[in-house]
Structure 1
Amino acid sequence: MQRKPIKRQTRISVIIVTRNRHRQLIDCLQTLHSSTSKYFDLIVIDQSDKTEETEDLQSQLAQFPSAVYVKSGQRGKSKGLNIAIQSSRAPILAFTDDDCLVDKHWLSSLSEVFYEHPDVVGVFGRTLPFKPAFHMGRVCPAFFDKSGSHNIVDPQKDLGYIGYGNNMAFRKSVFKSLGAFRWWLGPGSIGSNGEDVELAIRCLIHNQALRYESRALVYHNRWITPLEYRIQDLSYVCGEAACYGYYALLGYEFAKYLYIYTFRLEIKHIILLVRHLRVRVLREVASLFFWFCVKLFARLRGTLVAIYGVTVDTKNTFFVEA
């Protein structure tokens, strides 16, 4: 399949789905406005049920002449992303989150990667915590810190280079040929997470090459307590089980391996923790066992979501309305 050549500075549609985080979104838009590349348009899908800061947001959006703002009654990040994809006109679609701050060279770096690697259909970038020294005692979730670059061609061997949905870009042609985001995955859905890795795996099993590039840099500006992170981790476990379980049920051996492997890791982790407790305090053991059981429940939920996923038609899911 021949693709149209991408210019070194081709136009990009930047897509952000937001819900009740207008203040964080405004900070994100300010970093986008400082981008060294001006060859982009902006699409914001707003699923908020609060309206306190809408005026400030509209003022910020006015800095982007080609900005598309859609107020959506839908819930779920994937549904919002699919609405945005339908509205996009650029050949490259870049995705970040409302609580992220993009590096000024982020867009130009993405353009260069697609220009240098015409066979690549998707790029994941490096996501770092924003000013960690100012957030001692708190945790930044969803950061991805690997240096250098790496070709992603195998969903099992190269899984460690598939980053997060807060810093990725794909050719729009991917969604035309392979379908949109699975609406039952991602934040706000029954699957809670995993829409990003599922899209990556879908590309790979259809022999579409991906790439990791650390020069495409984004900062994640979300800081939560260790307890909140444990709760957040449950959504990752659920999404992971839903994604791997979905492809395992479709008969893919790598997915069966990943589904079982991640489960074994959790069991080994709990065993090691118990063994290395210097003082086997009953409360600590009980706490570890409690969170292990909660994770098992999250994994079970993800498995049920996977079963549901294989029963619904998810091919070319451009069906959502704003």
Structure 2
Amino acid sequence: MTDGVVSGAPRVTAAICTYERYDLLPGAIESVLAQSLPPGSFELIVVDNSPDPARSAREAAPFADRPGVTWRHEARPGLSNARNVAARHARAPIIAYLDDDARADPVWLQNVAGCFDQFGEAVSVVGGRIRPWWGAPRPAWLPDEMLGEVTVVDLGPKRRLLADGEWVAGANIAFRIAALRNAGWFDTSLGRTGGGASLLSAEETALTERIKALGGLVAYDPLAAVDHWVDPGRLTQRWFRRRAAWQAVSEYLRDPKAQFDRSDDAWAAVKGYLLTQNPADRTMRGLALHKDDAADFRWQAGAVYNAVIALLAGLDEQDDV
């Protein structure tokens, strides 16, 4: 590999950014330490954004003697900031991010590195398959088209470049650090901060788009795969509605003009949805009622998304005269 690798430096840095997930974090760490790459060819950086540094130190202690592991407590909150901290301390030219509630396959890093090798310097970003690790049975009302909301990614069986409109997810994504630097790092105004009160996202999408605008390509490797925990608390329609609303906020922040320009269409879509509901439910109530049918729920979640876009752009209705 190139990118100005210093002799003796690891080939790839794995990074886990965490916030008070001490129940699941050790499993993520162990899955990285069990990688098939030879010892010394990769390192692991854990960036702990949890608010209690003393607790962080206690949780770090079992890994203090594990070769190649660096544990950093980062007081400034925010996932994007934590990811930037990891990248700035990485010793390898490539950094691969794994969520703290994920488990990497033993050949994860081998295939991340191999994908960069195969496509060469033109590729700046590599994403991999993300399989669901269900914490509870999948609900019947959850359609396949909405699995991406719980970070399920499967773009097929082949290692390849991404086509327009395809995306990879931050639970399993790797970057050339030079590309991160050139694109201005992760935007700290995007991404989640603290616990689950905010579902602001799109930070890796925004960064990837900036990298692509600079000429970098994005690749997908199905063998760079991980299992990602789907918390039972997310398997409710209320959570998916929240996710749709926060996705609208995230995308509005990422590209305000594009979302403003489509706000009339978004508002028309909301009204179109509500007009299909019972007369008593043609209000905000219609965006909150439980749906048994998967297609109906998908339509409702889309209406929630569009309602937030329309509200952010500003509504203006006139009574018919």
TM range (shorter): 0.7 to 0.9
Q: Does 1:19 align with 2:19?
A: yes
- Of residues 188, 202, 206, the one that matches 1:198 is 206
Contact in 2 for aligned 1:105/1:216 (Cα 8 Å):
yes
Residue 161 of structure 2: which of 143, 151, 163 is its match?
A: 151
Classify 1:110/1:74 alpha carbon distance in 2 versus 1 (closer, same or farther; 3 Å): same
| Partner residue, 1:188 | 193
CA contact (8 A) 1:15 1:96 kept: yes
Q: 1:97 aligns with which of 90, 99, 103?
A: 99
1:173 & 1:42 partners in 2: Cα distance? Answer: 19
* TM value normalised by structure 2: 0.74
CA contact (8 A) 1:127 1:217 kept: yes
- Matched residue, 1:230: 241
- The answer as to whether partners of 2:241 and 2:304 remain within 8 angstroms in 1 is no
1:108: which partner in 2? 110
TM-score (normalizing by structure 1):
0.74
Cα distance change of structure 1 residues 126 and 267 upon mapping to structure 2, 3 Å threshold: farther
Shift in alpha-carbon separation, 1:49–1:124, aligned structure 2, 3 A: same
Q: Distance between the aligned counterparts of 2:189 and 2:114, measured in 1?
A: 33
User: Which letter maps to 2:184?
Assistant: G
2:89 corresponding residue in structure 1 = 87
Distance 1:76 1:206, change over 3 A: same
Structure 1 runs not aligned, ≥5 long: 249-255, 305-322
Q: CA deviation at 1:159?
A: 2.5
Unaligned runs of 5+ in 2: 289-300, 315-321
Alpha-carbon contact 2:263-2:310 (below 8 Å) kept: no
The separation in 2 between residues aligned to 1:219 and 1:127, in whole angstroms, is: 6
Query: Which structure has the larger Rg over C-alpha atoms?
Result: 2
SS, match of residue 68 in structure 1: strand
> For residues 283-309 of structure 1, what are the alpha-carbon distances to aligned partners after superposition, in whole Å with 9 as ceiling and x for unaligned?
4864334677864574479779xxxxx
Offset, 1:44? 1.1
Deviations 1:24-62 (A, max 9, x none): 111211222222224211111111125796466324423
Which of 286, 289, 298 lines up with 1:288 in the alignment?
286
Partners of 1:151 and 1:19 lie apart in 2 by 32
State the Cα distance separating 1:268 from its structure 2 match: 3.6
Following TM superposition, by how much is the alpha carbon of 1:264 offset from its aligned partner in structure 2, in angstroms?
4.1
The number of residue pairs the alignment matches comes to: 283
CA distance in 2, matches of 1:149, 1:29: 26
Query: Conserved in 1, the CA contact under 8 Å of 2:266 and 2:306?
Result: no
Question: What is the letter of the counterpart of residue 36 of structure 1?
Answer: S
- CA gap of 1:165–1:62, structure 2 versus 1, over 3 A, is same
Are 1:170 and 2:178 matched, yes or no? no
TM-superposed CA distance for 1:267, in Å, is 5.0
* Secondary structure at 1:31 match in 2: helix
User: Which residue identity is paired with 1:220?
Assistant: H
Q: What is the alpha-carbon distance in structure 1 between the residues aligned to residue 213 and residue 190 of structure 2?
A: 18
Partners of 1:78 and 1:18 lie apart in 2 by 11
SS at 2:230's partner residue? coil
- Distance of 2:90 and 2:311 partners within structure 1: 34
The answer as to whether partners of 2:32 and 2:44 remain within 8 angstroms in 1 is no
SS in 1 for 2:85: helix
